[in-house]
Amino acid sequence: MALQIGDIAPDFEAETTEGKIRFHDYIDGKWAVLFSHPKNFTPVCTTELGYTAKLKDEFAKRGVVVMGLSVDQLADHDAWAKDIEDTQGTALNFPLIADHDRKVATLYDMIHPNASDTMTVRTVFVIGPDKKVKMSMNYPASTGRNFDEILRVIDSLQLTAEHKVATPVNWKHGEDVIIVPAVSDEEAKTLYPEGWNAVRPYLRIVPQPK
């Protein structure tokens, strides 16, 4: 069965471009992004890895560590990293797993046989400090992912983990949020003494908590 939100992200040990890494040790109480690439030296993957490297500071300020995966040998990763730096203008600055035996891809259900029985789809997992899956999504090999959206989701996950709110459609950091239905009006008066906008009794809009 595929990993679901709330499941513990399976631990594994793998060879990467930054040496052998045990995944749970790599997370070590941090938020994490694990994402797969169908194959080395493919054009869409090259753009994705370069852009992710450019986002290093954005991930760092959110306390997020990143790890990529491709089903090729480590030597191929090293050669591909040079291409990524040359074509995208940023060197790879996070570990890229060499999953040539498909062990991690199988563990995380990244290979979808009706799409390809050898290459992974573009899977993304966001994993919390408790090592539980907080978000997952799958893109086909032909479509590059939106990593700005991944950052947006992380902003929402971190905010809603700390406060009793949910984020509405197309929400971005700093915009109004929704008080969750489990919070009564009496409790909300304590949490938000300046009040809220009750569009409906179940739809209570409030400025984002700081």
pLDDT above 70 covers a percentage of the chain that reads 99
Q: Are residues 44 and 121 in the same domain?
A: yes
What CATH number does the domain containing 179 carry? 3.30.1020.10
Q: Are residues 110 and 186 in the same domain?
A: no
131 carries an active-site annotation:
no
- Give the C-alpha separation, 66 to 51, whole Å: 12
What CATH number does the domain containing 79 carry? 3.40.30.10
The catalytic position among 9, 34, 45, 53 is: 45
In a domain, 139, yes or no: yes
Residue-level pLDDT at 119: 73
In a domain, 189, yes or no: yes
- Examine the fold and report which residue of 117, 145, 173 is the final residue of a domain before the chain moves on: 145
Displacement of CA 13 from its chain's centroid (Å): 19
The pLDDT tens digits for 27-50 are 999 999 999 998 889 999 999 999
The CA–CA distances, whole Å, from 50 to 45, 79, 83, 93, 158 equal 8, 14, 10, 9, 25
Radius of gyration of the chain (CA): 19
Query: In the chain, at which residue ranges do the beta strands (DSSP E only) sit?
Result: 13-16, 19-22, 31-37, 64-70, 96-98, 122-127, 133-139, 165-166, 177-179, 197-200, 203-206
Q: Are residues 125 and 178 in the same domain?
A: no
- Give the C-alpha separation, 56 to 176, whole Å: 27
Q: Are residues 79 and 128 in the same domain?
A: yes
Residue-level pLDDT at 120: 80
Cβ burial of 44 (10 Å; 0-12, 13-18, 19+) is middle
Lowest mean pLDDT, pick from 85-89, 105-109, 129-133, 153-157 = 105-109
- State how many domains the chain has: 2
Q: Are residues 133 and 183 in the same domain?
A: no
In a domain, 8, yes or no: no
The pLDDT tens digits for 101-112 are 999 999 999 988
In a domain, 157, yes or no: no
Q: Are residues 83 and 169 in the same domain?
A: no
Element (H, E) at 74: helix 74-88
What SS3 class is residue 29? coil
The pLDDT tens digits for 44-103 are 999 999 999 999 999 999 999 999 999 888 888 888 999 999 999 999 999 999 999 999
The parent domain of residue 185 ranges over 163-206
